[in-house]
Amino acid sequence: LEKAPAPLLKAACAGADGAYASEAAKEMLPGAELLFRPDFGAAFASLENGECDCAVVPIENSLAGSVTEIYDLMFKHRFFIRESLSLPISHSLLGIKGARADEINTVISHPQALAQCSEFISGNKLNKIAAENTALAAKSAAEKGDVTLAAIASKKAGKLYGLEALTENIQNDKDNFTRFLCIVKELYVPTDANRFSLTFALEHETGSLYRVLSRFAAAGINLTKLESRPMRGRSFEYQFYLDCEGSIRTEKNLDLLCALSEELPEFRFLGNYAIC
């Protein structure tokens, strides 16, 4: 736990400059070189292959919920969470120069952004096109040069690709945040760590999940998130993902995790990190 962490000089992100992931990476890792990859899987692969020191990816949004693909990739790769950041998200309707908001009939963006702006989209009867991320959506809208097509992305992305903000703050709720993770290969627990994450699987037995969760309650550990994901190759069996408040430097927390790691059929500790 006390070993000094290696410097994070290169970070992989999905998409292109101007994506919200790039904003999160710049805030978490000032001065790091950003390597943009076409999708989340490619960002994880870059970390696996040693092309970068970490990957910065979204894990959940306060309006649209979890980014389920990231959970699946976390189960697949044996990586750890180094840091977590909640980034405020403000979406704009971005059009080419000369476009008007009342002319737009189609919007392009990442499915999460489309979901976060669903009320605006349905209220204006707009068609939707899914893109790999918001920055690539802005780039695509700029390249197409169609006055009836707009991207949903940040104003920063609009400026990067020469688009104008036709309408700002179009998300369903102004209090909109996305939580990003900095993923690394080596475990490091900072002294200010206040959140830990783990995954596990259970036997198909009555009360098996209850018995596990009750032990967290008995230890006084507050669960902040519980997510289940289907297990590949095992029909209707599930992997559980937990976020909990606290530090494994606390003896009772460490004792519980050690006991569960020995008792459960599958168990993985994903990291103990600070929430920013």
Residues 127, 61, single domain; the answer is: no
Active site residue 178: yes
Active site residue 180: yes
Residue 5 lies in a domain: no
Return the pLDDT at 83: 95
Q: What is the CATH number of the domain that holds 66?
A: 3.40.190.10
Return the pLDDT at 1: 56
Residues 162, 209, single domain; the answer is: no
Residues 158, 47, single domain; the answer is: no
Residues 207, 268, single domain; the answer is: yes
d(CA 66, CA 48): 23
pTM: 0.89
> pLDDT for 138-179, tens place per residue?
999 999 999 999 999 999 999 999 999 999 999 999 899 999
Instruction: Indicate which residue of 36, 44, 75, 180 is catalytic.
Output: 180
DSSP letters along 133-191, please?
SHHHHHHHHHHHT-TTEEEEE-HHHHHHTT-EEEE---SS-SS-EEEEEEEESS----T
Residue from 80, 83, 62, 168 nearest 120 by CA = 168
Residues 180, 47, single domain; the answer is: yes
Residues 137, 208, single domain; the answer is: no
Return the pLDDT at 215: 97
Return the pLDDT at 201: 93
Tally the domains of the chain: 3
Residue 1 lies in a domain: no
Q: What is the CATH number of the domain that holds 212?
A: 3.30.70.260
Residues 221, 112, single domain; the answer is: no
Return the pLDDT at 2: 56
- Domain span at residue 223 reads 195-275
Instruction: Indicate which residue of 44, 75, 79, 178 is catalytic.
Output: 178
Residues 108, 243, single domain; the answer is: no
Kindly give the parts of the chain with pLDDT less than 70: 1-4
Residues 73, 98, single domain; the answer is: no
Residue 70 lies in a domain: yes
